[in-house]
Amino acid sequence: MRMWSWIAAAFVILVLQTTSLGFFGGNLFFDLPLLFIYSIGLFYGARAGLLCGLAFGLLQDISSPGVFGFCLLTRGLTGYGIGCIKEMIFKNNYGYHVLIIGGLSLLLRVLYAVPFLWLNAFGTTALFLYLQDSLWYCLGNMLLILPVSRILLALYHWIAEEDVTY
Protein backbone atom coordinates (compact mmCIF):
# COMPACT_ATOMS: atom_id res chain seq x y z
CA MET A 1 0.00 0.00 0.00
CA ARG A 2 2.88 2.35 0.67
CA MET A 3 3.95 1.94 -2.94
CA TRP A 4 1.22 4.41 -3.89
CA SER A 5 3.19 7.13 -2.13
CA TRP A 6 5.46 7.31 -5.22
CA ILE A 7 2.49 8.51 -7.25
CA ALA A 8 1.78 11.15 -4.61
CA ALA A 9 5.45 12.19 -4.67
CA ALA A 10 5.34 12.43 -8.48
CA PHE A 11 2.25 14.62 -8.25
CA VAL A 12 3.96 16.89 -5.70
CA ILE A 13 7.02 17.11 -7.98
CA LEU A 14 4.83 18.15 -10.91
CA VAL A 15 2.97 20.74 -8.84
CA LEU A 16 6.22 22.21 -7.49
CA GLN A 17 7.77 22.30 -10.95
CA THR A 18 4.83 24.06 -12.58
CA THR A 19 4.15 26.55 -9.79
CA SER A 20 7.76 27.49 -9.07
CA LEU A 21 8.57 28.72 -12.57
CA GLY A 22 7.10 32.17 -11.95
CA PHE A 23 8.70 32.74 -8.55
CA PHE A 24 12.39 32.55 -9.42
CA GLY A 25 13.92 35.55 -11.14
CA GLY A 26 17.28 35.81 -12.82
CA ASN A 27 16.64 32.80 -15.08
CA LEU A 28 17.30 30.33 -12.27
CA PHE A 29 15.35 27.26 -13.17
CA PHE A 30 15.58 23.55 -12.59
CA ASP A 31 14.05 20.26 -13.62
CA LEU A 32 12.47 18.46 -10.68
CA PRO A 33 11.02 15.67 -12.86
CA LEU A 34 14.55 14.91 -14.09
CA LEU A 35 15.70 14.56 -10.48
CA PHE A 36 12.72 12.32 -9.71
CA ILE A 37 13.44 10.11 -12.73
CA TYR A 38 17.08 9.89 -11.66
CA SER A 39 16.02 8.72 -8.20
CA ILE A 40 13.52 6.16 -9.49
CA GLY A 41 16.14 4.70 -11.84
CA LEU A 42 18.66 4.63 -9.02
CA PHE A 43 16.35 2.89 -6.55
CA TYR A 44 14.31 0.54 -8.72
CA GLY A 45 16.34 -0.17 -11.84
CA ALA A 46 16.18 0.27 -15.60
CA ARG A 47 12.60 -0.81 -16.25
CA ALA A 48 11.05 1.43 -13.59
CA GLY A 49 13.33 4.30 -14.62
CA LEU A 50 12.30 3.90 -18.26
CA LEU A 51 8.58 3.84 -17.43
CA CYS A 52 8.88 6.84 -15.12
CA GLY A 53 10.95 8.72 -17.68
CA LEU A 54 8.48 8.03 -20.47
CA ALA A 55 5.53 9.12 -18.31
CA PHE A 56 7.17 12.34 -17.15
CA GLY A 57 8.58 13.00 -20.62
CA LEU A 58 5.15 12.69 -22.18
CA LEU A 59 3.66 15.04 -19.58
CA GLN A 60 6.45 17.57 -20.14
CA ASP A 61 6.11 17.37 -23.92
CA ILE A 62 2.36 17.86 -23.78
CA SER A 63 2.66 20.88 -21.47
CA SER A 64 5.55 22.66 -23.21
CA PRO A 65 5.59 24.54 -26.51
CA GLY A 66 9.04 23.17 -27.40
CA VAL A 67 10.01 20.32 -29.67
CA PHE A 68 7.53 17.49 -29.13
CA GLY A 69 9.17 14.16 -28.33
CA PHE A 70 12.41 15.57 -26.96
CA CYS A 71 11.50 15.17 -23.29
CA LEU A 72 9.87 11.80 -23.99
CA LEU A 73 13.05 10.46 -25.55
CA THR A 74 15.61 12.03 -23.22
CA ARG A 75 13.74 11.38 -19.97
CA GLY A 76 13.09 7.77 -20.94
CA LEU A 77 16.74 7.21 -21.84
CA THR A 78 17.83 8.95 -18.64
CA GLY A 79 15.73 6.67 -16.44
CA TYR A 80 16.87 3.59 -18.33
CA GLY A 81 20.54 4.60 -18.30
CA ILE A 82 20.62 5.42 -14.60
CA GLY A 83 18.79 2.17 -13.86
CA CYS A 84 21.40 0.21 -15.82
CA ILE A 85 24.33 1.72 -13.91
CA LYS A 86 22.64 1.87 -10.50
CA GLU A 87 24.97 -0.76 -9.04
CA MET A 88 27.99 1.43 -9.83
CA ILE A 89 26.64 4.48 -7.97
CA PHE A 90 26.98 4.72 -4.21
CA LYS A 91 23.58 5.89 -3.00
CA ASN A 92 25.00 7.50 0.15
CA ASN A 93 27.80 9.46 -1.57
CA TYR A 94 26.11 12.70 -2.55
CA GLY A 95 29.12 14.02 -4.45
CA TYR A 96 28.41 11.40 -7.11
CA HIS A 97 24.81 12.55 -7.39
CA VAL A 98 25.82 16.18 -7.85
CA LEU A 99 28.37 15.32 -10.54
CA ILE A 100 26.09 12.90 -12.39
CA ILE A 101 23.17 15.33 -12.42
CA GLY A 102 25.46 18.17 -13.49
CA GLY A 103 26.82 16.12 -16.38
CA LEU A 104 23.38 14.85 -17.30
CA SER A 105 21.92 18.37 -17.25
CA LEU A 106 24.74 19.62 -19.43
CA LEU A 107 24.24 16.74 -21.87
CA LEU A 108 20.50 17.45 -22.10
CA ARG A 109 21.12 21.14 -22.76
CA VAL A 110 23.69 20.32 -25.46
CA LEU A 111 21.20 17.95 -27.11
CA TYR A 112 18.42 20.53 -26.93
CA ALA A 113 20.71 23.20 -28.42
CA VAL A 114 20.42 21.64 -31.87
CA PRO A 115 16.65 22.15 -32.37
CA PHE A 116 16.68 25.38 -30.36
CA LEU A 117 19.37 27.02 -32.46
CA TRP A 118 17.87 25.59 -35.65
CA LEU A 119 14.53 27.25 -34.86
CA ASN A 120 16.27 30.54 -33.99
CA ALA A 121 18.33 30.63 -37.19
CA PHE A 122 21.65 30.20 -35.34
CA GLY A 123 21.63 33.77 -34.01
CA THR A 124 24.50 34.83 -31.75
CA THR A 125 22.14 36.51 -29.29
CA ALA A 126 20.06 33.36 -29.00
CA LEU A 127 23.23 31.31 -28.51
CA PHE A 128 24.50 33.59 -25.74
CA LEU A 129 21.16 33.55 -23.92
CA TYR A 130 20.90 29.79 -24.33
CA LEU A 131 24.36 29.24 -22.84
CA GLN A 132 23.52 31.53 -19.95
CA ASP A 133 20.26 29.68 -19.28
CA SER A 134 22.09 26.36 -19.55
CA LEU A 135 24.52 27.40 -16.83
CA TRP A 136 21.69 28.30 -14.46
CA TYR A 137 19.84 25.09 -15.36
CA CYS A 138 22.85 22.92 -14.53
CA LEU A 139 23.56 24.78 -11.28
CA GLY A 140 19.92 24.63 -10.20
CA ASN A 141 19.77 20.88 -10.76
CA MET A 142 23.11 20.33 -9.02
CA LEU A 143 21.92 22.24 -5.96
CA LEU A 144 18.52 20.59 -5.77
CA ILE A 145 19.67 16.99 -6.18
CA LEU A 146 20.82 16.93 -2.56
CA PRO A 147 17.49 17.69 -0.85
CA VAL A 148 15.41 15.86 -3.46
CA SER A 149 17.49 12.69 -3.28
CA ARG A 150 17.47 12.76 0.55
CA ILE A 151 13.68 13.08 0.63
CA LEU A 152 13.17 10.36 -1.97
CA LEU A 153 15.69 8.08 -0.24
CA ALA A 154 13.72 8.46 3.00
CA LEU A 155 10.55 7.61 1.07
CA TYR A 156 12.27 4.56 -0.44
CA HIS A 157 13.31 3.32 3.01
CA TRP A 158 9.83 3.97 4.39
CA ILE A 159 8.31 1.85 1.61
CA ALA A 160 10.94 -0.87 2.11
CA GLU A 161 9.91 -1.22 5.78
CA GLU A 162 6.51 -2.54 4.70
CA ASP A 163 7.93 -4.91 2.08
CA VAL A 164 8.45 -8.17 3.93
CA THR A 165 10.42 -10.70 1.92
CA TYR A 166 11.03 -14.16 3.30
Q: In this predicted model, what pLDDT tens digit does every residue of 131-150 receive, in sequence order? A: 888 898 999 999 999 999 89
The pLDDT assigned to 2 comes to 73
The CATH fold of domain 32-161: Arp2/3 complex 21 kDa subunit ARPC3 (1.10.1760)
24: Cβ contacts below 8 Å, ≥ 6 apart: none
Spell out the residues 6+ positions from residue 68 whose beta carbon is closer than 8 angstroms to its own.
Answer: 61
Q: Where exactly are the structural domains of the chain?
A: 32-161
Render pLDDT for 101-121 as a digit per residue (tens, 0 to 9): 999 999 999 998 888 778 777
Check if the beta carbon of residue 33 is closer than 8 Å to that of residue 13: yes
CA distance readout (Å), 47 to 25, 40, 51, 76: 37, 10, 6, 10
pLDDT at 30: 86
Tell me, what's the pLDDT at 25?
47
pLDDT of residue 28: 55
CA distance 163 to 166: 10
